[in-house]
A and B are shown apart, each in its own frame.
Chain A
Amino acid sequence: QKEVEQDPGPLSVPEGAIVSLNCTYSNSAFQYFMWYRQYSRKGPELLMYTYSSGNKEDGRFTAQVDKSSKYISLFIRDSQPSDSATYLCAMSPRNNNDMRFGAGTRLTVKP
């Protein structure tokens, strides 16, 4: 079993839809949870960062962490074609170390 599981998709939605991206994990030591967005042939860009359980909102993006279920989510409201990218979840047990990535979900938002 992989430490971090993420459905690679691809996921295609119409513009304006609510997008739900998810990851599950097996290592209960993970404390830091991140979502990155990666455009083709570019480095990942940090979107959301959460420590431990809870919700975090930033504009159209909401990150949720449920440590009891070992499940994290990223919601994108009012999705735009510019949101089309690969979204990677990442998590680590310690600050700035041992980060593990999900496989990434390829998202396409159609106009």
Chain B
Amino acid sequence: GAVVSQHPSWVICKSGTSVKIECRSLDFQATTMFWYRQFPKQSLMLMATSNEGSKATYEQGVEKDKFLINHASLTLSTLTVTSAHPEDSSFYICSAGDPGGAGEQYFGPGTRLTVT
């Protein structure tokens, strides 16, 4: 299957700082990537859909000025959590669909963000 990587896998930051998370498709080009958030023992919550070369589409209730998404190339999307607060602490996961595939999405390993 297709491989998606994320970096970093774990980050701790102080309240008020910004954190950038990278999502890369390693062996295919992804015109669309997705960003999810997952709280402990809960399911995935779609935050936004990232489209290469255009603005991201955010789900209702997700602050686009707080969660900045950039999809500058066909293999890289970034999520920046700006002015992080402790309530932003969560597990962030990206996914991408392989255009050459049949509709499935492949997930990265996730990034655990802890804001102190």
**A residues with CB within 8 A of B:** 32, 34, 36, 41-46, 49, 51, 88, 90, 92, 94-97, 99, 101-104, 106
Contacts and interface: CB of A to CB of B under 8 A. Distances in A.
Contacts of B49: 97
B91 interface: yes
B110 A34 contact: no
Chain B, interface residues (CB within 8 Å), range: 20 to 34
Interface of B: 1, 4, 6, 32, 34, 41-44, 46, 49, 91, 93, 95, 97, 99, 102-110, 112
A32 B46 CA distance: 17
A18 to B, nearest CB: 25
B44 A88 contact: yes
Nearest to B104: A49
A32 B107 CA distance: 17
A49 B97 CA distance: 13
A96 B97 CA distance: 5
B49 to A, nearest CB: 7
25 contacts: A32-B103, A32-B104, A34-B105, A36-B107, A41-B91, A41-B112, A43-B6, A43-B93, A43-B95, A43-B107, A43-B110, A44-B44, A45-B107, A46-B107, A49-B102, A49-B103, A88-B43, A88-B44, A94-B103, A96-B97, A96-B99, A96-B104, A97-B49, A99-B105, A102-B43
Contacts of A49: 102-104
B103 A92 contact: yes
A96 B105 contact: yes
Contacts of A34: 104-105
Nearest to A96: B97
Contacts of A90: 105
Contact of B34 (A51, A99, A102): A99
Contacts of A92: 103
A44 B93 contact: yes
